[in-house]
């Protein structure tokens, strides 16, 4: 079942973010992930948004997410961002509910 990393990102140190981003992306790709959404500043339609950036990454399954997160490549990226980039992460499995049919276009 596909699984997703949903990340909220707040940057306090742009240099740390610029060093972190390519290492994180390389680790994601190496572990079978692909970026679905990466936006600098989401604009809320309802309610409020308390974070800066939003990223959604798809992996083949939840196990692959944990392998990526615990990998030496991503651990290194996490060390680089420490103190300069704050993340909120959710790991979720998901697929459309059984019987769900999107409307025909």
Count of the separate structural domains present in the chain: 1
Asked whether residue 101 is domain-assigned, the answer is: no
**CB atoms < 10 A from the CB of 81, how many?**
21
Asked whether residue 69 is domain-assigned, the answer is: yes
Mean pLDDT of successive 10-residue segments in the chain (105 residues)? 94 94 96 92 84 92 97 96 94 78 71
Asked whether residue 45 is domain-assigned, the answer is: yes
The CATH number of the domain holding residue 9 is: 3.30.70.100
Tens of pLDDT along 15-33?
A: 999 999 999 999 999 999 9
Asked whether residue 102 is domain-assigned, the answer is: no
For residues 39 and 85, the answer to whether their CB atoms sit within 8 Å is: no
Asked whether residue 103 is domain-assigned, the answer is: no
Asked whether residue 51 is domain-assigned, the answer is: yes
Asked whether residue 19 is domain-assigned, the answer is: yes
């Amino acid at each position: 079942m596909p699984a997703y990393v949903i990340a909220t990102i707040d940057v306090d140190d742009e240099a740390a973010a610029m060093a972190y981003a390519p290492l994180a992306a390389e680790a994601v790709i190496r572990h079978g992930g692909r970026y679905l959404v990466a936006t600098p500043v989401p604009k809320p339609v309802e309610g409020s948004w308390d974070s800066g950036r939003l990223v959604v990454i798809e992996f083949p399954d939840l196990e692959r997410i944990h392998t990526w997160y615990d990998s030496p490549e991503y651990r290194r990226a996490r060390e680089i961002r420490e103190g300069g980039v704050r993340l909120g992460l959710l790991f979720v499995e998901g697929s459309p509910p059984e019987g769900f049919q999107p409307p025909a276009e």
